[in-house]
Structure 1
Amino acid sequence: MKNLLFFTAFLFSHFISYAQDKSPYVLYNANGKKLSYKKMIKVLKEKDIVLFGEYHNNAIAHWLQLEVTKDLKQSRDLVLGAEMFEADNQEPLDLYLQGRLSAKGLDSNARLWKNYPTDYAPLVNFAKENKLAFAATNIPRKFASLVSKGGFEKLDSLSAKEKSWIAPLPIAYDAELPGYKKMLEMMGGHGGPNLPKAQAIKDATMSHFILKY
């Protein structure tokens, strides 16, 4: 069985430490107890799906992502996935992994984030070198924007091809989920009721493409 290691936006399992020993990170388990890196890897090896949260511009998080990926690869095959790649960019990503598209070509065709060269390219190149699949999981941002402005109904007019890049419609949506309610609170009402719906279609789409593997 393969592990699917997915990189996304929230920091679940590690925090920067400013202790006197200057350790670059500290790991905790679900009960708030410190966990050694070796123990963490042992636990993760038994999981089918690993969600690795991050602050997008945190260098330590990105370094740790690569180290975890390398260590998990030693014992089993992996499929990687990332929020930063939108589903309609799967083709150029696959071409790059197959050696049929240059790094410059990937940059031109896949709407890469500004920090891709330093923070995500090492993971993609590791997948390329080890012949691993890498899933482009996120909804194209223009479709999430449609939902943010006009609700889920705006997706009904998409073509069949465009709908293949998002989760099957309609998606289940619960406006009372704490994360979505908190999102509205943080925006002070400026985002409107469709803002958490845009996040929900992102969440559903990323889940959909993760589970395809």
Structure 2
Amino acid sequence: MRTLLFCISLLLSVHANAQDLKAYQLLNAEGGAATFADIVKKSKKSDVVFFGELHNNPIAHWMQYELTKALHEEAKGSLVLGAEMFESDNQLLLTEYLNGTIPAKTFEDEARVWNNYKTDYKPLVDFALEKQLPFIATNIPRRYASLVFKGGFEALEGLAPEAQQYIAPSPVPYDPNLPGYVKMVEMMGGHGSGSANFPKAQAIKDATMAYFISQHLPEKGVFLHFNGSYHSDHYEGIVWYLKEAYAPKAKVLTITTLETDDLSAIPEGEQGKADFYLLVPSSMTKTY
């Protein structure tokens, strides 16, 4: 009887192990297995690290926080944080919160924080608060991106100088043939002013984020930037503007997040997106 119980217990254990669920897998650009330590090591040697997230993916947000902690502990020199999720005209509010001038509620009420701020971005901001790290609001104010969507780059020309300070300097370089922008035109049907201006509205965001990153690069250290993966995938978007216009000598590292049913390999058609891939099961719960 004792032997039978042991065998049953062993079988149940084997079955349980076979059913273990994996929350994520890291791969390098070639599709080989990578570790978190690999990312930290290469990030320390970079000037700018772009962590491309899926906005509602909890594993990506957790790993962003862990990478922030690791770079603060190990990177030589200073660490600067920045994010798409904060618009440049809210830099003063963000700085006042980090300096202890205003309380969290005032900052959150007035800074147009995203709906998932408290679960996904507040831990990063509060880490900056605790460690007294700079945190840069890099994105263009959405009202100005909306102007570009409606009227192209020309719509920005009439803005007051006070408004221009929140946007990448004009004229903004623009390559409509970048594959990411071409796909946006195709998504809009490929004709009409709406389809032509849609990628321009994306480009003004990318350019502005790249510009403000370039203005706050630490002399010796790392700028860690959080953005939707589509802003840095294939080394386009923000990366293209940074390298082509604002900081051509900057050493850049990119991370992208993908949801997939197979964590063992880069999904078909997704090669060439980034230096590291964070693969997460498609069934992973969302933060919103």
Compute the TM-score of the two structures, normalised by the length of structure 1: 0.88
Q: In structure 1, what is the equivalent of residue 158 of structure 2?
A: 157
Q: In structure 2, what is the equivalent of residue 56 of structure 1?
A: 55
1:15-41 alpha-carbon deviations (Å, 9 max, x no partner) = xxxx95422211111112110111221
Aligned counterparts of 1:158 and 1:182: Cα–Cα separation in 2 = 29
Q: In structure 1, what is the equivalent of residue 74 of structure 2?
A: 75
| Partner amino acid, structure 2, of 1:30 | A
| Partner amino acid, structure 1, of 2:141 | P
> Unpaired segments of 5 or more residues in structure 1?
1-18
Name which one, 1 or 2, has greater alpha-carbon Rg. 2
Aligned counterparts of 2:51 and 2:96: Cα–Cα separation in 1 = 25
Aligned counterparts of 1:20 and 1:164: Cα–Cα separation in 2 = 55
Q: In structure 1, what is the equivalent of residue 103 of structure 2?
A: 102
- Counterparts of 1:144-183 in structure 2, within 5 Å, are 144-183=145-184
Aligned counterparts of 2:141 and 2:134: Cα–Cα separation in 1 = 20
Alignment pair present for 1:32 and 2:31: yes
Deviation at 1:103, TM superposition (A): 1.1
Deviation at 1:192, TM superposition (A): 1.9
Larger relative contact order (C-alpha < 8 A, sep ≥ 6)? 2
% identity of equivalent residues: 56
Aligned counterparts of 2:30 and 2:67: Cα–Cα separation in 1 = 21
Counting matched residue pairs gives 195
* Structure 1 moving runs of 4+ over 4 Å: none
Q: Greater shift after overlay, 28-37 or 154-163?
A: 28-37
2:184–2:195 Cα contact (<8 Å) kept: no
Provide closer, same or farther for how the CA distance between residues 125 and 173 of structure 1 changes in structure 2, counting only shifts above 3 A.
Answer: same
Q: In structure 1, what is the equivalent of residue 45 of structure 2?
A: 46
Aligned counterparts of 1:133 and 1:93: Cα–Cα separation in 2 = 10
Deviation at 1:188, TM superposition (A): 2.6
Aligned residues: CA RMSD: 1.4
Aligned counterparts of 1:47 and 1:20: Cα–Cα separation in 2 = 39
User: What secondary structure does 2:206 align onto?
Assistant: helix
1:110-138 alpha-carbon deviations (Å, 9 max, x no partner) = 10000000000000000000000000000
User: What secondary structure does 2:82 align onto?
Assistant: strand
User: What secondary structure does 1:74 align onto?
Assistant: helix
Compute the TM-score of the two structures, normalised by the length of structure 2: 0.66
Q: In structure 1, what is the equivalent of residue 200 of structure 2?
A: 197
| Partner amino acid, structure 1, of 2:206 | D
